[in-house]
Structure 1
Amino acid sequence: MPKKGQLEMELSARITQWEKEYLGRGSLTCKADLLRDLAIVTLQGVLTPAEYELAAKSAGREQLKKYRNNLVESGRPQLEAIVHDVLGRRLVSLHTDISTKTGERLIVFRLDAPWENGIDKP
């Protein structure tokens, strides 16, 4: 089985590719961390300049957060497939939030077992 760092890099690359293909724009950076039965993905530079301007308005902030979170949720089937392909684990739950101040998004994947117990990779 690949080492932890290799899996984290592969998961980061696959999430970045998903963002570009599904959302039409990728983050500036993406970092995945594996911990027990969690995969924590931190994405920097997610918001566009127009979204930052919208977020500066109080009502726009909540709308933007809701819209961006709904977009991630709508791509859940693809994200589940990515997690399974990379880690060999099924997804129990997905949690996401975005900071309208920093443009950082966190996605937390809760796996059906610790990542170390995934399928052997070639």
Structure 2
Amino acid sequence: MKTLGEIEAAVCEGISRFEQEYMGRGPKHISAHLLGDLLVIRLQGVLTSAEQHLVTTLPPEKGRDLLKQVRTQLIEIARPKLDTMIQGIVGVRSLSLHHDISTITGEEVVIFTLSEVPQCREAKKK
């Protein structure tokens, strides 16, 4: 059984690898937090050069909406792979996935609602 920190670190590693392989670029910073049956993942610095260019050259609402639509579609297509990865790490299946990205800050948030609270062991105290 993994500790909470080990689960969160494994999620960061898995999501970072996914972003790099699937989106073509990994995040500059990533953090994951398991809060009961919610898994919250925050990625910073995820926009590619092409996405940044798209957002800055089109009218603000059009560029933003287009980027959000594309990112959402990509996440939905990859959802089975993400669900399998998360279940393998936390030991329980996900029920839902929520996603949003900021075109201003380049920050992305992914939230998984899990079927139950994952079991984890206490970390050894030093």
Q: TM-score normalised to the size of structure 1?
A: 0.90
Cα RMSD over matched residues? 1.3
CA contact (8 A) 1:38 1:115 kept: no
Structure 1 ranges of 4+ moved more than 3 A? none
CA contact (8 A) 2:25 2:48 kept: no
The equivalent residue for 1:88 is 91
Structure 2: state its 5+ residue gaps: 121-126
In structure 1, the residue corresponding to 2:34 is in which secondary structure? strand
The equivalent residue for 1:19 is 19
Q: CA deviation at 1:105?
A: 0.4
1:43-122 equivalences under 5 Å are 43-56=43-56, 57-58=59-60, 59-116=62-119
Q: Distance in 2 between matches of 1:68 and 1:105?
A: 10
| Code of the aligned partner of 1:8 | E
- Greater C-alpha Rg: 2
CA contact (8 A) 1:26 1:46 kept: yes
The equivalent residue for 1:7 is 7
CA contact (8 A) 2:92 2:116 kept: yes
Q: Distance in 1 between matches of 2:79 and 2:50?
A: 25
